[in-house]
Structure 1
Amino acid sequence: MPMTGRCREPNCHNLVIRPLHYCNTHADKEVAYQESRQRWANQDNSKRYKDYDRKRNEDPLKSEQHKFYQTKQWKSLRRVAIARDNGLCQYCLSRGRVRTGKIVDHIVPYEIQPSNRSNLDNLAYCCSYCHKHKTEWEQIYYGTGFGNKHKDVVLVRKVSDIPDLKTP
Structure 2
Amino acid sequence: MASRQKWARSRDEGYRHRYDQVTRNRSEAKTEQYKFYKSKAWAGLRAQVLARDDHIDQYLKLLGIYEVADTVDHIVPIEFEPDQMQNPDNLISCGRHTHLIKTRWEKKYYFDRGGQPKSVEPIREIGKILPILAP
Check whether TM > 0.5.
yes
Higher helix share: 2
Larger radius of gyration: 1
Pick the aligned partner of 2:121 from 137, 149, 154.
154
Please give the per-residue CA displacement for 1:58-117, whole angstroms capped at 9, x wherever unaligned: 311111110110111111000000000001001101222111111100001011111111
1:107 paired residue among 58, 64, 75: 75
Q: Which residue of 2 aligns with 1:164?
A: 131
C-alpha distance in 2 between matches for 1:108 and 1:44: 33
- Percent sequence identity is 36
Instruction: Assess, with a 3 A threshold, how the Cα gap between structure 1 residues 121 and 49 changes in structure 2: closer, same or farther.
Output: same
Shift of 1:44: 7.0
Displacement, 1:149?
A: 2.1
- 2:92 paired with 1:118: no
Distance 1:129 1:167 in 2: 12
Shift of 1:163: 4.0
Write the letter of the residue equivalent to 1:62.
K
1:54, CA displacement in angstroms? Answer: 0.7
CA distance in 2, matches of 1:149, 1:74: 25
Give the secondary structure class of the aligned counterpart of 1:58. Answer: coil
Q: Which residue of 2 aligns with 1:77?
A: 45
Amino acid at match of 1:115: D
| Structure with more contact order per residue of length (Cα contacts < 8 Å, sep ≥ 6) | 2
Match of 2:63 among 95, 110, 124: 95
Superposed CA RMSD: 2.1
Across the two proteins, how many residue pairs are aligned to each other? 128
User: Against the structure 1 CA distance between its residues 122 and 46, is the aligned structure 2 distance closer, same or farther, given a 3 Å change threshold?
Assistant: same
The runs of at least 4 consecutive aligned structure 1 residues that moved more than 4 Å come to none
Structure 1 residue 45 corresponds to structure 2 residue 36: no
Question: 2 CA distance for matches of 1:97 and 1:163?
Answer: 12
The residue identity in structure 2 corresponding to 1:84 is R
Rounded to whole Å, the distance in 2 between the matches of 1:93 and 1:85 is 10
Gaps of 5+ in 1: 1-36
* Match for residue 131 of structure 1 among 68, 89, 99: 99
